[in-house]
Amino acid sequence: MSVKLPEFFKPLFWSYKFSCLDPEKDKRIVIVNTINYGDWKHWVWICKFYGKEEVKKIIEETPQTEFRPPALKLISLLLGITKLNYVSRSDYIRSKKDT
pLDDT value, residue 84: 77
pLDDT value, residue 82: 83
Q: What H or E segment, with its residue span, contains residue 55?
A: helix 52-61
Q: What is the pLDDT of residues 15-28, one digit of tens each?
A: 999 999 999 999 99
- Which residues touch 58 (CB under 8 Å, ≥6 apart)? 27, 28, 31, 32, 50
Read off the pTM. Answer: 0.81
Helices H, strands E: what count in the chain?
5, 0
Q: What's the half-sphere exposure (Cβ side, CA atoms, 13 Å) at 53?
A: 0
Q: What is the pLDDT of residues 28-77, one digit of tens each?
A: 999 999 999 999 999 999 999 999 999 999 999 998 889 999 998 898 88
Domain extent listing, the chain: 8-98
